[in-house]
A and B are shown apart, each in its own frame.
Chain A
Amino acid sequence: MPSVEELIREFRERWGDHPSAQLSVAILERLATLPDDQLRMLTFISFKNVLGYPSVDELLIRAVMLLANSSVHALDAKLLFIDDDDAEYELDPAELEDARKEGALAHPVTGALIGDYERKVFPFFVPSDRLIGARAHA
């Protein structure tokens, strides 16, 4: 299991030229210093706040997505569905996949189909097993 430093090195080698690379590295460095129990739900706003970045812009979104979707795989993307009563449910990725296939999301509790579900589903992130291992390495 690589250390956080090795993870950052790996990231720089592969994505160093990407316009968001610097931000991605800053996120990795910051996440390395925070306790586990404060990394259970990281939203784009969380990343903005922990970095002291001025706003959630395309650059920041790309920086986060690189960490989640590239081979570095430092973050796991999760999904939160918030219904009209403000009740929150974490969605399994397969549920969203089904929703896209069927054109509607099955409400986790009522089982009713929700056509305009896309605007009620929000991403958040948690450290991947790889990043957790790297943090433990230190």
Chain B
Amino acid sequence: MSLENLVASMASRMPWDVGQTVLGAAEVTKGHGWDRTVAKFKGVEGTPAQREALTESLRQHLLCGEKNVRMYEVAPDELEKLRQAASALKPAKTPFSTLYPALMMEPELGAAFPQPLAVAAVEATDDGLAVVFASGRAIKLREPVDRSTLPEEAAKALAGYDEVLGVKLQRLEAVDVVWIPSHGSYVDVRVDFPKGMHQDNANAVHERVTEALAALIGFQPLVSPVNLFPVIDRLYRKSKEGSVVELAFGTTTASLKHEKMRRAGTCLREEKYHLGGKDALGTPIEPYRLSVQWSVPVGPEKASRPELSLHGSSKLGLSDAPVLDHAVIRHCVGLADFNFVRDRIEAALAKAEAKAA
């Protein structure tokens, strides 16, 4: 696979900040932004070392980059049955599996559109087994139009508007993963969740992935996703657990608060206004939406900032049995930082369960 294909595939799914880290680690000099980086490597084969490094990074990103995650608790015997069945799966013969881990791009992707979910690869790592599904997907994106790029007449006609938005149907190859760990009891379904994709669409994809898996292996081990709502409170109250960068909560004074930190490395748990508000209340706050960032070393003098978002709604905060069935994990450079975040969720789940018992 050439550097051109690898960089174009990365550009179609990696956040630019993650991409810069990956390119730098592979000693590939970036351009200015994704488009110019892709253009820079048109027709470039690259060195074997560069290709190997980027192929591995891309492979890992397919498994864990920018994902909407549901976790399913599976009994040990059922889990073993699933592991056996999944390891026997073979990739379907599709353009997706032929190119894997590189991704299909326009115009080839458009010609093959829409594509149903198909197994593109079965990946075994030290930590577990991944069944990798690929498919064509369209996402409706609303993007601001830069008026300086419009013809004079068009720009004049739109002069009365503060902002001009264009709606774009972006077709991309989506990669959704069923992850079966070597240890532990939680199986993940990790659905690609690029910026701009709506949660309703992710929910539909989650259903399709579990159905596709069951159709392939002949039974359904993934029945009911784990409730992650208790993780919100658990992580918030654990003072050394990353930096809380976003928190929404209700109070008994009949108010809703949505707070965010603006600078990396700062934490809402210690922020003066937040603490002052809490101290003024005689009752605890009731969090329903949380984002936590960690700094995870990913190489010599390099750290990534993976972010976990557990986004419940105020309706959930009012429920007597709130259920949140998904987490969003972004900005992972590879499996190491993704697994770090996943471990934090598992630890919080274990404590929440112990508390409930």
Q: Which of A37, A111, A116 contacts B146 (CB 8 A)?
A: A116
Q: Report how many residues on chain B are interfacial, defined by Cβ distance under 8 Å.
A: 26
Q: What is the 8 Å Cβ interface bit string for chain A, positions 108-122, against chain B (1 contact, 0 not)?
A: 111111111000000
Q: Which of A38, A84, A113 contacts B33 (CB 8 A)?
A: A113
Q: Which of A35, A37, A102, A108 contacts B16 (CB 8 A)?
A: A108
For A38, list chain B residues within 8 Å (CB). 272
Docked Cα-Cα span, A114 to B144, in Å, equals: 10
Cβ-defined contact, B264 with A90, below 8 A: yes
For A84, list chain B residues within 8 Å (CB). 143-144, 163
Closest A residue, CB atoms, query B34: A111
155-181 of chain B: CB within 8 A of chain A? 163
For A35, list chain B residues within 8 Å (CB). 272
**B315 within 8 Å of A by Cβ?**
no
Docked Cα-Cα span, A106 to B262, in Å, equals: 20
**B266 within 8 Å of A by Cβ?**
yes
For B16, list chain A residues within 8 Å (CB). 106-111
Cβ-defined contact, B36 with A115, below 8 A: no
For A116, list chain B residues within 8 Å (CB). 146-148
Q: How far does the Cβ of A108 sit from chain B's closest Cβ, in whole Å? A: 5
Cβ-defined contact, A104 with B15, below 8 A: no
Q: What is the 8 Å Cβ interface bit string for chain A, positions 83-110, against chain B (1 contact, 0 not)?
A: 0100010100000001000101011111
Question: Which residues from chain A sit less than 8 Å from chain B, CB to CB?
Answer: 35, 37-38, 40-41, 80, 84, 88, 90, 98, 102, 104, 106-116
For the complex with contacts A109-B17, A116-B148, 5 further pairs of A-B residues with Cβ separation under 8 Å are A37-B271, A104-B33, A109-B195, A113-B35, A115-B149
